[in-house]
Amino acid sequence: MTATSEPLEQEQDPKNDAPTTPVIRFLRGPHLLGQIAVNPEQTIVEHAEACGVELPTSCTSGTCGTCTVSVVFGEVALPDELPPGLEAWLAEEGGRLGCMSKPHADVDIDIMPPI
Ligand code: FES
């Protein structure tokens, strides 16, 4: 048996080819705090509240950075112009503002501060 860094392929059930609903998971390090189906109309903070995970917020407008989280799996798109609450280096390392960012696919969010 050899070790691999490739993700394991999930076996497909040939009788069930229905599309799966994307899920957002909230982690604190290795601990799963909650998860819920992705609603592309909702922000990360709104998803967290819906599954009982508390995220700190303040301005809720992208200015303060209080709601910064780390995307540790998947993608959450950045706006064309970074809001004042998110520095470019942090965005490059997966930092996103929970009050403004909306996931559209499977994503894992670490709510430990990225800095
Ligand atoms: S709460 Fe201030 S940037 Fe999100």
The reported pTM is 0.83
Give per-residue pLDDT as tens, 26-40: 999 999 999 999 999
What spacing in Å lies between the alpha carbon of 11 and ligand 1's midpoint?
Answer: 40
Cα distances from 29 to residues 26, 54, 60, 97, in angstroms, run 9, 15, 24, 18
What spacing in Å lies between the alpha carbon of 65 and ligand 1's midpoint?
Answer: 5
CB of residue 66 inside a 6 A radius of ligand 1: yes
What spacing in Å lies between the alpha carbon of 66 and ligand 1's midpoint?
Answer: 5
Q: Which residues pair with 114 in a beta bridge?
A: none
**CATH number for region 23-110:** 3.10.20.30
Give per-residue pLDDT as tens, 73-85: 999 999 999 999 9
For residue 105, give both structure tokens: 């696919």
Residue 37: strand, helix, or coil: strand
Give the torsion sign (CA, 23, 75, 114, 7): positive
Q: Which atom of ligand 1 is nearest to the CA of 59?
A: 2
